[in-house]
Structure 1
Amino acid sequence: MKWNKEELGAYSPNDIEMSWYDFWEKNGYFHQDADKSKKPFSIVMPPPNVTGQLHMGHALDNTLQDILVRFKRMEGYNVAWIPGTDHAGIATQVKVEQQLAKEEGKTRYDIGREEFLKRVWAWKEKYGSRIEKQVRRLGSSCDWSRKRFTMDPVCARAVREVFCTLYEKGLIYQGQRITNWCPHCNTALSDIEVDHSDVQGSLWYVKYPVVGEDDYIMIATTRPETIMGDTAVAVNPEDDRMKKYVGKKVIVPLVNREVEVIADDYVDIGFGTGAVKITPAHDPNDFAMGERHHLESIMIMNLDGTMNDKAGAKYDGMTREECRKAVVADLQELGLLDHIEPLTHSVGHCSRCKTIVEPFSTKQWFVKMGPLTKAAIDAVAEGKTRFIPERFSKTYNHWMENVHDWCISRQLWWGHQIPAWYCDDCGEISVSREDITECQHCHSKHIHRDPDVLDTWFSSALWPFSTMGWPEKTEDIQQFFPTSVMVTGYDIIFFWVARMMFMTCEFMKEIPFHDVFIHGLVRDSQGRKMSKSLGNGIDPLGVCEQYGADALRFTLVTGNTPGNDMRFYMERVEANRNFANKIWNASKFVIMNLKDYDPGFKPSADDLTLADRWILTSFNDTVSQVTANLDKFELGDAADEVYDFIWNSYCDWYIELAKQRLYKSDDQRSKQTVQYVLVYVLTHTLEMLHPFMPFVTEHLWQHLPHEGESIIVAPWPQPRADLEFTADAAIMNVIMEAIKGIRNMRAESNVPMGKKAPVIMVPSDEGMAQTLRKYESYFHTLAFADKVTLLAPDAAKPENAVVTVVPGIEVYLQLKDLIDVEKETARVKKEQDKLQKEIDRLSKKLSNPGFLGKAPAAVVEKEKAKLADYTDKMASLTKRMEDLAKL
């Protein structure tokens, strides 16, 4: 039996939290070797950007993972939680480029690729560990000895192997496609790197003259600067207004190009005029239409977003904005601009530099998705991988079933450089797992490597197995793969979860994880998404400094239900810090009363009082419920169960009942029994709370009699059949209900705290009467009862008393000598008058047709809810006045 007998001071999370993390890490509690004799439980941490700063999303994600990991570790599983960081191609490159410009006034092109990459690696070494330290501050018990970086040698080898294998299978190819292009960063972007926001724009209505006729087709466009790249005009084949134009030629304004009017189902009859300009090189939908109708694709812009010579000599070199103004002016001068309408529409911006994204047709590398998705779709359909909540499997399936080929090349220098070499002599491409010096086809030495790098999501798609050393068949892969659960937000199901699924199914012939536990976003108290632009972000590290990581973690989990967004209230963090303080003070009380504690003492069943039997049975029930909820990923419900048991059952009830036996009892065995129960329940409850609040539980556990070196590796609590007293617990619950009834009557009647009152009870039968006689002391201790009188069911009921009814008992409280009836009547009357004014005001407001007609529905509902609440309160005050009248 171990026991740190140092006295507990005041609770101060900053004084204890990181010292315990250092203790766990230095003693190797986060690491377990692969052990085939144990059931595995493994998680790969969603890798934060190496440039990253911890935000509330990270805090939530890590907290949920850590709860599961600590729970399974205590259950005896062979646990591996693999942390890591993502090289974050564009984000990191932008950071270093900004630093280079600020400190030296240079661009990456000034110093060259090799030197620039040295600078990026140096930046990574200097700042890359920052987010790891921040993750530690939250208490995340991941195995840092297994940490990975998406560009470390192990992951780099996996990336090359996957690229080359897919290329050899014909599943990676080069092609000319429309991609999101950032003219400032000069690279293609993934969908997740594009932020869409509504902007105030216009619809320009432009006349396209019909060739050979005194007629024109009116088109509506939001981008007149791309007119010079038009190679068709399209209408819907079902549009009766436009059928006569199909097959005819029209003249593209400004460049006088003759193009055909085509029919395509994609055209929305109800948008604009029903006719649209088709610019295949500058719009993804137009590109698809161009492929269907074999249209020419004309790039009229340079990669930096300026116009090129194909836009026409007048516009060559202009920016997009300059060109738009010039084109509109020229159309007006030619009489081809009919009119302009204001329009609010969604426009994509680069998430890094906020430049408006340009859809460009460029030559890129693509993954052919069709052959890869079937196994990943089947894995979910067959239940091999399960989404929690299940509804998110529909989101996953919709994306998988409608996925386009994936653009994986990025025009960056930081990242996994594409392992493809071009021959300057024969023109062939060589793809290789190792760097090469000659063409694989003609053996020419005149080769050069593709300068592009792979999309960051390519390397992170391999995360479930690359982190374990694949393509080597490592011990970790044999024990911990597939992983047990992936914890992530719903916003990256398509970007990451889906990619991990199809890559893993392809290369491991196995699912990457059994469960996908989806959580929502952490929003501010008004329900808004946290963002820099709104200035409503909350720094989790600042919250940890002010209230402690335990309080933050408990707030994040108790405010969370799987798959749903949560609102973050600082008041709840403060309340959970108070909860930690409540546990601290309860532990302090127990420790102060263990001076003559005998660790070897074990009470018999006969030694246990009704209160002992009740708390032990309640503890058993709580363990069962918490375990079941954790197994179902209902982490918030599990936390609520622990909270309710500690605060209400243990602290507010059992400790109060234990005091009399600790302080006043001359019976040593009775004292030893209550000490045993206090310690047994508290130490195991701390173990049950540990996954949620790891720091305070470790500290208090160490100060109580316990077995083992650390709570982090203590066995998970189990219900004990020998400490299960269901019938006794039921009796105690009835007594508690009666005591609660008395407390409520005292509170409603404003009986001063500590002033004792006579209590009269009418049990329903003799069995209940015997129970009440036996445990009368509980009413004196917990209900401030002066005298307890029992009446037979047929006896005359007390007069001038307030009454409450609980199962099997009528409880009367005589108040005449406890309160100033006249003063209390006056107080209640004053409350009634004040409340009536509010009821009258709201009733008048809600009967006003003007208010009901103009006010938003939410406002009306809020006022109705207020009226209902005030009406309920008035009913309570009326009942109170009736009770006072009886006194």
Structure 2
Amino acid sequence: HQWFVNILDKKEELLAQNDKMQWKPEFMKKRSNDWINNLHWDWNISRNRKFGIPIPVWRSLKTGEVILPSEQQLANGPVDPSVDMPENLPADHTTDDIKGETLVLDTWFTSGLSPLINQNLVERDGYTKSILPMSLRPQAHDIIRTWLLYTTLHAYLRDESIPFENIMISGFVLAGKNEKISKSKNNAKASPEQILGQWGADAVRYWASGGQLGKDMIFDEAELKNGQKLVTKLWNASNFVQMLTEGFDPKADFDTATLLATDRWIISRANQVIKKMQDYLNNYEYGLAKLAFEEFFWADFCDNYLELVKLRLYKPELFENGEEKKLAGQWTLHQVLLVILKLIAPYLPHISEEIYQNIFRATEETISIHKTLFPTDILTIDNAEAIVLIEQMEKVLEIVEQVRKFKTEQQISLGAELTNLVVSGPAEYLAEIKHYEDDLVGVTKTQNIEYLEKDGIACLCEV
């Protein structure tokens, strides 16, 4: 004999339950619906195995009737019919007249109870509110037809509820094109222990977070190398910021009106990436959120902002009101680096925690970066100003690129000084560039900037 749960007569109800949950990605709901629509048999929940959760029933050896445990007996804890007896025997029966069920439950039957198990666990810890439906079920696409379907069925049969508000479906890691990593095929390039030992936990986590929802990805050591590079760059950039901000007191009052245009630009970009990553993460698109972070960290922060401000911080005496401008740069660096660490902490938890403890723990109240909140805007900069700042910085960076190209063509060091830099263009263009003059002097290593009003935009370097 076997035990079944009726499911064929509940297809419409299960499809309706699917519609009540948010699917990420949406096309995975169709896969679930197709499976439900094409079911041809009820759910066999019994297995003839040595190990498993017992089916708590007995059978009469006299009549063949099924004997169930009482509600109180079930409430007292698990019932094992191989050793336990029912509290209430049928008329004219002794314990010798009944036999406990020897079949055990299918693992998906008990796995499908995971929301209730979680509710029970939190109640043991004293939490009395309901956590159902749970906010998220993360899983791979191969068990939509089992774990997810049967969890949904359990919830419907219990009280017509849904088990989860959101369903997040990931893909597989493949050994090659359309080839799953398999022990039997021995097609894994290395064991998990070997990969962690060679690349480190953060680099592996970085690689694993690169997939898109619902899509398989091929194991690629190049991505592990990229993760390792990011760990190294984050460490080196943080050490550089720590050196540039030596003596800075983040608890001291600071007037944000003294920020330079370059500072407001990087803050506006940080604000933008906070918003973009938050939107992606709210939709469980952690891979796209990671890409948004990388673009900001590598290009905006490391390649551009650090290069633009470092002379202002190294040698403030070269600039009018230099100490005030140095303080503006230090305040900005401190704020932006803290945001960077908070954004990348879920991806690189170990190195971000190490940097946080080294640089920020002494002045931050939170004992760990992993207990901090997701960042919010560093400073309110409206969208109109942010657009202007980004457009202006593009023009500034074009000049920087032209200077670097000139030095490369002249086969002189990028750190070599220019005696003069002539920037020409319309009056409006020149007025914009002048907002960035101090930092433009610093990054191009020019002794002087000369502005020439004319129709065309160009720059001329003089050694």
Q: TM-score range by the shorter chain?
A: 0.7 to 0.9
- What is the correspondence of 1:479-498 to structure 2 with a 5 Å cutoff? 479-498=130-149
Q: Is 2:69 the partner of 1:417?
A: no
Measure, in 2, the Cα distance between the counterparts of 1:585 and 1:498.
48
- What is the correspondence of 1:44-59 to structure 2 with a 5 Å cutoff? none
Q: Is 2:420 the partner of 1:762?
A: no
Measure, in 2, the Cα distance between the counterparts of 1:478 and 1:365.
34
Q: 1:390 aligns with which of 13, 20, 26?
A: 26
Q: Is 2:343 the partner of 1:688?
A: yes
Q: 2:377 aligns with which of 719, 723, 727?
A: 719
Q: Is 2:281 the partner of 1:630?
A: yes
Q: 1:606 aligns with which of 218, 243, 257?
A: 257
**Amino acid corresponding to residue 366 of structure 1 in structure 2:** F
The C-alpha deviation readout for 1:683-702, integer Å capped at 9, x for no partner, is 12211221222211111112
Q: 2:316 aligns with which of 645, 660, 665?
A: 665
Please give the secondary structure, in 1, of the residue aligned with 2:288.
Answer: helix
> For residue 697 of structure 1, what is the aligned residue in structure 2?
352
Q: Which runs of 5+ in 1 are unaligned?
A: 1-362, 796-808, 818-887
Please give the secondary structure, in 2, of the residue aligned with 1:561.
Answer: coil
* Contact residue 601 and residue 676 of structure 1 kept, 8 A: no
Q: 2:94 aligns with which of 430, 433, 444?
A: 444
| Cα distance, 1:469–1:665 mapped onto 2, change above 3 Å | same
Measure, in 1, the Cα distance between the counterparts of 2:405 and 2:348.
32
Q: Is 2:192 the partner of 1:540?
A: yes
More helix by share: 2
| Cα distance, 1:447–1:489 mapped onto 2, change above 3 Å | same
The C-alpha deviation readout for 1:594-630, integer Å capped at 9, x for no partner, is 4322233333233111211111111111111111111
Shift of 1:744: 5.5
| Cα distance, 1:467–1:597 mapped onto 2, change above 3 Å | same
| Cα distance, 1:424–1:613 mapped onto 2, change above 3 Å | same
| Cα distance, 1:441–1:393 mapped onto 2, change above 3 Å | farther
Shift of 1:681: 1.0
Measure, in 2, the Cα distance between the counterparts of 1:532 and 1:771.
62
Q: 2:270 aligns with which of 598, 619, 624?
A: 619
Q: Considering only aligned residues, what root-mean-square deviation do their CA atoms show, in Å?
A: 2.9
* Contact residue 134 and residue 164 of structure 2 kept, 8 A: yes
The C-alpha deviation readout for 1:416-457, integer Å capped at 9, x for no partner, is 122222222223221324532574354233221121111111
Bigger radius of gyration, 1 or 2?
Answer: 1
**Amino acid corresponding to residue 429 of structure 1 in structure 2:** V
* Contact residue 22 and residue 167 of structure 2 kept, 8 A: yes
Q: 2:8 aligns with which of 358, 370, 373?
A: 370
| Cα distance, 1:682–1:413 mapped onto 2, change above 3 Å | same
* Contact residue 113 and residue 151 of structure 2 kept, 8 A: yes
- What is the correspondence of 1:399-418 to structure 2 with a 5 Å cutoff? 399-403=35-39, 404-418=41-55
| Cα distance, 1:627–1:370 mapped onto 2, change above 3 Å | same
**Amino acid corresponding to residue 458 of structure 1 in structure 2:** F
Q: 1:549 aligns with which of 201, 208, 214?
A: 201
Measure, in 2, the Cα distance between the counterparts of 1:407 and 1:794.
80
| Cα distance, 1:547–1:793 mapped onto 2, change above 3 Å | same
Measure, in 1, the Cα distance between the counterparts of 2:261 and 2:29.
49
| Cα distance, 1:744–1:520 mapped onto 2, change above 3 Å | farther
Measure, in 2, the Cα distance between the counterparts of 1:421 and 1:457.
22
| Cα distance, 1:783–1:412 mapped onto 2, change above 3 Å | same
Q: Is 2:180 the partner of 1:529?
A: yes
Query: TM-score scaled by structure 1?
Result: 0.46
Please give the secondary structure, in 1, of the residue aligned with 2:215.
Answer: coil
Greater RCO structure (CA 8 Å; 6+ sep): 1
Comparing 508-517 with 698-707, greater Cα deviation is found at 698-707
| Cα distance, 1:426–1:614 mapped onto 2, change above 3 Å | same
**Amino acid corresponding to residue 198 of structure 2 in structure 1:** Q
* Contact residue 610 and residue 729 of structure 1 kept, 8 A: no
- What is the correspondence of 1:252-331 to structure 2 with a 5 Å cutoff? none
Measure, in 2, the Cα distance between the counterparts of 1:454 and 1:436.
19
Please give the secondary structure, in 2, of the residue aligned with 1:562.
Answer: coil
Aligned length: 435
| Cα distance, 1:767–1:436 mapped onto 2, change above 3 Å | same
**Amino acid corresponding to residue 373 of structure 2 in structure 1:** P
> For residue 803 of structure 1, what is the aligned residue in structure 2?
none
Shift of 1:773: 4.4
Measure, in 2, the Cα distance between the counterparts of 1:695 and 1:603.
31
**Amino acid corresponding to residue 623 of structure 1 in structure 2:** I
> For residue 589 of structure 1, what is the aligned residue in structure 2?
240
Q: 1:506 aligns with which of 135, 157, 179?
A: 157
* Contact residue 422 and residue 429 of structure 1 kept, 8 A: yes
Shift of 1:414: 0.5
* Contact residue 56 and residue 101 of structure 2 kept, 8 A: yes
- What is the correspondence of 1:207-222 to structure 2 with a 5 Å cutoff? none
Q: Is 2:454 the partner of 1:793?
A: yes
- What is the correspondence of 1:816-835 to structure 2 with a 5 Å cutoff? none
Measure, in 2, the Cα distance between the counterparts of 1:664 and 1:525.
54
Query: TM-score scaled by structure 2?
Result: 0.85
| Cα distance, 1:522–1:753 mapped onto 2, change above 3 Å | farther
Q: Is 2:212 the partner of 1:561?
A: yes
Measure, in 2, the Cα distance between the counterparts of 1:418 and 1:479.
27
The C-alpha deviation readout for 1:259-290, integer Å capped at 9, x for no partner, is xxxxxxxxxxxxxxxxxxxxxxxxxxxxxxxx
Please give the secondary structure, in 2, of the residue aligned with 1:387.
Answer: strand
> For residue 168 of structure 2, what is the aligned residue in structure 1?
517
> For residue 650 of structure 1, what is the aligned residue in structure 2?
301
Please give the secondary structure, in 2, of the residue aligned with 1:623.
Answer: helix
Measure, in 1, the Cα distance between the counterparts of 2:93 and 2:273.
72
* Contact residue 580 and residue 696 of structure 1 kept, 8 A: yes
Q: Is 2:235 the partner of 1:579?
A: no
Q: Which runs of 5+ in 2 are unaligned?
A: none
Comparing 736-745 with 692-701, greater Cα deviation is found at 736-745
Measure, in 2, the Cα distance between the counterparts of 1:663 and 1:547.
35
Measure, in 1, the Cα distance between the counterparts of 2:246 and 2:133.
51
* Contact residue 482 and residue 514 of structure 1 kept, 8 A: yes
Measure, in 2, the Cα distance between the counterparts of 1:739 and 1:761.
11
| Cα distance, 1:477–1:376 mapped onto 2, change above 3 Å | farther
Shift of 1:739: 2.2
Shift of 1:525: 5.4
| Cα distance, 1:746–1:389 mapped onto 2, change above 3 Å | farther
Shift of 1:779: 4.1
- What is the correspondence of 1:720-869 to structure 2 with a 5 Å cutoff? 720-723=378-381, 725-726=385-386, 727-743=388-404, 749=409, 751-754=411-414, 761-763=423-425, 765-783=426-444, 790-793=451-454, 809-811=457-459
The C-alpha deviation readout for 1:544-576, integer Å capped at 9, x for no partner, is 222222211111212x11111112211211221
**Amino acid corresponding to residue 651 of structure 1 in structure 2:** C
Shift of 1:722: 3.5
| Cα distance, 1:633–1:743 mapped onto 2, change above 3 Å | farther
* Contact residue 312 and residue 442 of structure 2 kept, 8 A: no
Shift of 1:729: 4.0
Q: Is 2:426 the partner of 1:426?
A: no
Shift of 1:462: 0.9
* Contact residue 400 and residue 444 of structure 2 kept, 8 A: yes
